[in-house]
Amino acid sequence: MIQLAVAGATGRMGRAVLELALRDERFSIAAALSSAGCPLCGSTLLVADRAVPVVDRLAAPCDVLIDFTVPSGTMAWLEVCQDLELPMVIGTTGHSEEEAARIREAAAAVPIVKTGNFSPGINVILSLLGQLTREVGDAFDIELVETHHRWKRDAPSGTALMLVDEILAATGGTRERDVIIGRIADAGSRSAGQIGVHSVRMGDVVGRHEIHFSGPGETITIAHTSQSRKTFAAGALRAAAWIVGKQPGLYSMRDVLG
């Protein structure tokens, strides 16, 4: 049985992971982790009809840690995982370039799965996006719209940036030169190769991503809607089971899905 620690256990995604893990015979919960300043630390969560203690340190034996915190939380648990030579699954998004570099550095010592989205559907879209981008060519403008709940802290979403990077890999473009985040005032006409990215935050929307390719007389739209956090939680558990026993390295969800 895999001994699992969940960092960010008191958040929406952390609770979803705990609920599925407690019903999954592959896993046993080693620790439900939160930050020391969390008001729920030291109390218990009622998840899947079980009382789960919330702690701020990893004291029990553990096989893998799933991180759904904030960027600074990832950095803190990354140090713990590296010290303990513990595999890590990172679902947190919004990391800075420096934080992303630190994750890559740690992956030389411990196996890490890092992704902005654990859903199989998004990863299928990622596998198709480069081919579509190349085939429509320069005649089509590309715009991406992502929608999430009102509490989401980072924008654009990690998934949106994954999608953009896949498009840029096909066009040879760069984020700095070719990506524009929203448009305000007199933004002027769009330049060749520009990719527009727009973020909507409202209500309790779990997640929706739309990629629009618009050319002469026609528009192609690929849309993905996440209807439940359980999809992401199931993907994170799949990644956690997969990463145990792997060699150090930085892996993606596409590696997990094969």
Q: Cα(57)–Cα(64) distance, rounded to whole angstroms?
A: 14
Q: Can 224 be counted among the known catalytic residues?
A: no
Strands 218-226 and 207-215 come out as antiparallel
Active-site residue, from 95, 148, 209, 224: 148
What six digits make up the tokens of 69?
Answer: 């915190």
Bond into 156 cis (ω within 30)? yes
DSSP 210: E
Q: Can 148 be counted among the known catalytic residues?
A: yes
Active-site residue, from 152, 212, 230, 246: 152
Alpha carbon of 73 to those of 9, 46, 103, 170: distances in Å? 12, 23, 12, 33
Alpha carbon of 227 to those of 68, 104, 121: distances in Å? 19, 31, 12
What residue ranges in the chain does DSSP mark as E strands?
Answer: 2-7, 27-33, 44-47, 50-55, 64-67, 88-90, 111-114, 141-148, 179-181, 195-201, 207-215, 218-226, 249-251
| Active-site residue list | 148, 152
